[in-house]
Amino acid sequence: MSSTLRILPLGGLGEIGKNMTVVEQDGRIVVVDVGLRFPTPEMVGIDLVLPDFSYLRERAKDIEAIVVTHGHEDHLGALPWVLRELGAEGHLPPVYGGALTIAMARSKLDEHKLRDVSLNEVAITDTLELGPFSLELVHMTHSIPDSSAVALGTERGTVLITGDYKFDQTPVDGAPADVSRLAELGREGVLLLCGDSTNVDRPGFSPSESVVGPHLEEVFARCEGRIVVTSFASNIHRVQQVVDAAAALDRKVVLVGRSMRKNVGIGRTLGHIEVPDGLLVGPREIEDFPDERMVIISTGSQGEPLSALRRMAYRDHRQVQLRQGDTVVFSATPIPGNERAVNETIDRLYHIGCDVITTSDAPVHASGHGYAEEVKLMLNLTKPRYVMPFHGDFKRLRLHAQLAEAVGMAPEDIFQGENGLPLEINERGARFGKPEQAGMIFVDGVEIGDMADVALRDRRMLSADGIFIVVVTIAEQDGRSVVDPEVIFRGVPFLDQADELSDEIRATVDASLQRAAKEELREVDLLQQMLHDDLAKLVYDRLKRRPMVLPVVVEV
């Protein structure tokens, strides 16, 4: 047994989101999860952030399979883009997961017109052979049905990637995590545990999902007007509890947001959501019922710019116009990094006159990620030889490592990694290998690309300080200006100085062209660079701002 087992995280370490892990043995690869995350405010004009999977492009034909632990965007959302790129390399690997996960994957791929992909439902009792790997899914509880840990058997031993999990003893669907199988794997021997770190900073055990339903009903009972509940569209269990609370209080339910309607439809088809006949009505029927009879379930719990709730808060939604007396219930907590967007949305709701209820006001949310004691329980059940904390920023990865030490693991057997840093395990033990390329790929519209820093910088500059465009027409023979330069500016807050500054800009252009003539600079790109530097200095000296300066030189 001389080959080396490599575990290469391409996303999910040092961050919350875009989880993707490459497991490699004997030159063959299994990819676990293909997630995305949403852009931060400074990523102007960016729609989605994907892991940099260029490593997989170069190894496309070596990929045995893609395995997805569950249907959340941070584990499944990048699948269409990854498959499209791998397909361009001549290889479309098969995709494996639970029934709901595969149904959500199929829906996403249909939207992207990717219909030649092999999508395979894996039952919990199945063991599949994928080249040098064996694959087993272990049932876990999370905030979405069909969540699984992935147990990959290799000649070195079992690699257990937990996915997102909690040890909920009273889950809404009545199926707790398969603790007995985890313990059995521990007795058989787990070589490496790659564990969720999202809530390691919270002491104790996480509350059960089943406690949320009664509290939602209590909140609903106190509301006299319409109720808007916002949660993750994929949180099927939460939608079921909102439906149950609405039915108990004789309220109708409206689903708002494309992903909410789509996921609830999939959940109903697979039997994960049961809705009494006549309870659901369409968005156009909202005004047909009294306010006290209406519950709206909406996307937008994270303040996403284009989500239904965000548009409602800014009075930009075609079908739902919020008004004083409405109550908005946030049945979710902000993902780290989204707090600002969520707070902005809440403030706009207050401006309209809505009442807002968050988790600080009532227990209307239960996290799908286990707390510190559950992380310890996972470690004690599986008794791994090595541990590599996953799914968390660097603070949480360190806290997870400390918990592993607390249950008796040796520090040298705990590996705090980062994206692009492979863990290599062979007969001599485990150690980090040579870093591979890892980072971010941006989705801008429907296209993906490695958005250069300069492009994001330009977008930030445009959004903050505006743009100057200066069109200069010069004679081809001597390079002198033949007409007055045209000055166009947009988004620059200096209207009271506009005429004066425009005159100074024209004077600066003339001076720059004269200097260029003396230095015998005739190339258009060099002239444009000289004009840019001179104009940028002038604008900053006058305005103390740095708008984008775009000189355009035309020869006649």
The residues that are catalytic are: 196, 369
User: Which H or E run contains 28?
Assistant: strand 28-34
Three-class DSSP labels, 420-458? CCCEEEECCEEEECCCCCCCEEEEECCEEECCCHHHHHH
Q: How far apart are CA 165 and CA 143, in angstroms?
A: 8
Q: How far apart are CA 56 and CA 82, in angstroms?
A: 9
Side-chain-facing half-sphere of 98: CA atoms under 13 Å: 24
The first and second tokens of residue 544, run together, are: 């103390």
CA angle 102, 152, 199 (to 5 degrees): 75
CB 329 within 8 A of CB 228: yes
User: Which H or E run contains 386?
Assistant: strand 386-390
Q: How far apart are CA 151 and CA 134, in angstroms?
A: 8
What 8-state DSSP symbol labels residue 412? G
Residue 137 has φ and ψ, to the nearest 5°, of -100, 135
CB 240 within 8 A of CB 248: no
Which ranges of 302-367 does DSSP label H, i.e. alpha helix? 308-313, 339-352
- Bridge partners of 468, per DSSP, are 489, 549
- Helix, strand, coil % in the chain, rounded to nearest 5: 35, 25, 40
Q: Minimal CA–CA distance to 5: which of 210, 154, 164, 211?
A: 154
Q: Are strands 63-67 and 95-97 parallel, antiparallel or unpaired?
A: parallel
CB 331 within 8 A of CB 301: yes
CB 468 within 8 A of CB 550: yes
Q: How far apart are CA 42 and CA 456, in angstroms?
A: 8
Q: Are strands 486-490 and 467-474 parallel, antiparallel or unpaired?
A: antiparallel
Q: How far apart are CA 388 and CA 161, in angstroms?
A: 10
Side-chain-facing half-sphere of 349: CA atoms under 13 Å: 29
Please give the span between the terminal C-alpha atoms of the chain, in angstroms, as a whole number: 73
Which ranges of 291-332 does DSSP label H, i.e. alpha helix? 308-313
Three-state DSSP class for residue 394: helix
Three-state DSSP class for residue 534: helix
Side-chain-facing half-sphere of 466: CA atoms under 13 Å: 15
CB 91 within 8 A of CB 64: no
